[in-house]
Amino acid sequence: MKRVAILGGGPAGAFTAERLARQGLNVVLMDEKLAWEKPCGGGLTYKAYSQYPFLIENPTPKRLVTETVLAAPDAGEVTLRLTDPLLIYSRLDLNRMLLNRAANAGAQIERTRVTGMERRGSGWQLRTPTGTVDADFCVVATGARNALRDVGTQLQPTDAMSALGYYIPGDQARIDIQFLPGLEGYIWVFPRCGHLSAGICGKREPATLLRRRLERYLDEHGIAWKGSTFYSHLLPSLDVKSWKRNRVAGDGWMAVGDAAGLVDPVTGEGLYYAIRSADLAAQTLLADSSPAEHAASYRKLLRRDFAADLEFGSRLAKRVFLGSFLLGSVPARMVQFTRRSPRFACIMQDLFAGRQPYLGLKRRLMQNLNGSLYDIAMSFGFSRIVPRAGNVST
């Protein structure tokens, strides 16, 4: 491998560039904006910073938040004190830090837009507004709005959520998560250094309606959003069937992060998967295998590592937001169970930390159901009339 071109310098592209350059490969990274405030909450889970400690061990400004308030219609709210805090960055700061790391590792960083790519023998010729760049291999890291036609995920309307919000001057100690009636999505308010990132994501609902829902929520909660900077973007959220045909790699290229649709279809978490897929793409390129095997090896690594779990998550997404359980909505039950059952609250802790995969979640919930219901009964003061689950004698 002589020269690798990385198209896009968000977290996925920057981390691929760092990994490859550190191992001595000739790497050129091209991004039309370089470090910028990409529309995002900026939240990184424990799963991300425990696996990649440099994400937390650095002098870049960031917030560590332990208090999360979950709220749902007809259920009020519950406070969950996270045993493993959420780490929150401004994306300008996070992207800058990752690009600096890539440059320090030896990657050549160029501010330019890639407007096209053509196969030339076993390599590529990339077009930019000012000329051409030759490369032997391409890593496509152009995000959810990838305009390069023949590489990366082809997002259908049902494979994405609209996500929009405001950067609002202000501060609060906690994270707010609000579920809304009939919405396959949620509102979040994340405290960052110096401002709040308040946003909403939702599937199958026009952006104008989502924006109205968010503004109503902010008004009702006394958060002064008028005059704040508005943002909107696309959030990949692949449908069940789309995982099978997902175009993540081909002859001479691999896609990473949002350009490969690698986002949690329930929570919208994409930063971890951007970093992780970058790592797996770099491992594939650095492995002692022939270029012809790269695409298949990368697909296999992704599937084994997390893509099978995300695919399973896409089966659950609709039920999590719109389903019902014990005659109430799933979000309302989630809030009520978290409030009343320490066992259920533990599962929520693990979900927030990224420690509980979707594969295995149903089994864990069922195994804990008796205990959770027992906790709930006890919390209502039924201790004398409800026998301990599992100790019932017949």
Ligand X SMILES: Cc1cc2nc3c(=O)[nH]c(=O)nc-3n(C[C@H](O)[C@H](O)[C@H](O)COP(=O)(O)OP(=O)(O)OC[C@H]3O[C@@H](n4cnc5c(N)ncnc54)[C@H](O)[C@@H]3O)c2cc1C
Q: Which residues bind ligand X (CB under 6 A)?
A: 7-13, 30-33, 38-43, 113-114, 141-143, 147, 163, 165, 199, 233, 235, 257-259, 263, 268-272, 274
> What is the C-alpha radius of gyration for the chain, rounded to an integer number of angstroms?
22
**Closest-CA residue to 117 (of 226, 255, 23):** 255
* Residue 316 structure tokens: 């659950």
CB of 11 to ligand X, least distance (A): 4
Nearer to ligand X, 252 or 344 (CB): 252
Contact assessment for residue 236 and residue 314, using Cβ atoms and an 8 Å cutoff:
no
CB closer to ligand X out of 88 and 376: 88
CB of 164 to ligand X, least distance (A): 6
CA 284 to chain centre: 22
Question: 201 or 335: whose CB is closer to ligand X?
Answer: 201
CB of 376 to ligand X, least distance (A): 31
HSE, side-chain direction, 13 A CA sphere, residue 158: 8
Q: Which residues contact 188 (CB under 8 A, 6 or more apart)?
A: 41, 175, 176, 177, 178, 197, 198, 199, 200
Strands (E), the chain: 3-7, 26-31, 43-44, 63-72, 76-88, 108-111, 116-120, 123-128, 131-135, 137-140, 160-169, 175-178, 184-191, 195-203, 229-236, 249-250, 253-255, 324-325, 328-329
Residues 6 or more apart whose CB falls under 8 angstroms from that of 9 comprise 17, 29, 30, 31, 34, 35, 95, 99, 102, 109, 141
Report, in Å, the least distance between residue 87 CB and ligand X: 10
Q: At what angle do helices 271-286 and 11-22 cross, to 10 degrees?
A: 30
Residue number with CB closer to ligand X (8 or 331): 8
Nearest 10 degrees: Cα torsion 300, 305, 307, 309: 130
In this complex, which beta carbon is closest to ligand X, that of residue 199 or of residue 372? Answer: 199
* CB nearer ligand X, residue 320 or residue 373: 320
Q: How far apart are CB 103 and ligand X at their closest, in Å?
A: 15
Q: Give me the least distance between CB of 142 and ligand X, in Å please.
A: 4
Residue 274 or 345: which CB sits closer to ligand X? 274
167 backbone dihedrals φ, ψ, rounded to 5°: -95, 115
Cα torsion 381, 384, 388, 391 to 10°: value is: 180
Nearest-approach distance from CB 265 to ligand X, in angstroms: 12
Residue with the shortest CB distance to ligand X: 270
Backbone angles phi, psi at 17, to 5 degrees: -60, -45
> What's the closest the beta carbon of residue 385 comes to ligand X, in angstroms?
44
Pick the closer one to ligand X by CB: 163 or 317.
Answer: 163
CB of 196 to ligand X, least distance (A): 13
Residue number, 194 or 387, with CB nearest to ligand X: 194
Q: Two tokens at 320?
A: 């999590």
Name residue, tokens 């793409």. 281
